Amino acid sequence: PSHDSMQDRIAFGYIVAEALTSARYLDISRWTKSNLIKYKGQDYLRYTQSKTGKTIQMPFPEMLREYITDGDRMLPLVEYRTLLRNVKTVFKKAGFTREIQRVRVVAGNTVVETKQEWEVMGTHRLRADAITGMLQSGMSESEAKKFSGHSPRSNSFHRYVEFSQDHIDNKFLNYINQ
């Protein structure tokens, strides 16, 4: 991808990190090169989640390597609100302009808002996409929970799983055609 600015490049590094690993911004922003380890002759990413205290270890996503900084940090430290603004800019430039409707309940009233897709994109949205992608790729729910730091009995895990209608339709058609 082309990056119009250093801010775009940094935002894209965080996008890639979260979209591939399902890690939270808070954890990604703390990764240093010491989190990159050798395991069985391969590069692995190992870190402890700040929210849960769980240690996560996974093969290092090679696509992330081009965003590693020259210093000790893996990615530059960016204040969250600044990063969020830059992430939205990257998605807008990438053409995420489809209109979507969001339904919220505010003070007991249902409010329907129409927004462009880029306006609702954020780093945590990418966590949901990563977890859904893990499941769609054939990873079991327990394996995806392990990589995303959810406990086996997590009540919040399913909030992150959002299969597309096409995916559900294909799974159903495979089921009835067996």
- Which of the residue ranges 21-30, 130-139, 148-157 would you say has the lowest mean pLDDT? 148-157
Task: Report the alpha-carbon distance of residue 87 to residue 10 in Å, rounded.
Answer: 9
108 band by pLDDT with thresholds 50, 70 and 90: very high
Percent of residues, the chain, with pLDDT higher than 70: 97
Lowest-confidence pick of 35-39, 148-152, 166-170: 166-170
Q: Which of 3, 1, 13 is nearest to 73 (CA)?
A: 13
Residue 60: C-alpha distances to residues 21, 32, 65, 124 (Å) = 9, 13, 9, 20
Q: pTM for the complete prediction?
A: 0.80
Question: What are the residues whose beta carbons fall under 8 Å from the beta carbon of 174, sequence distance 6 or more?
Answer: none
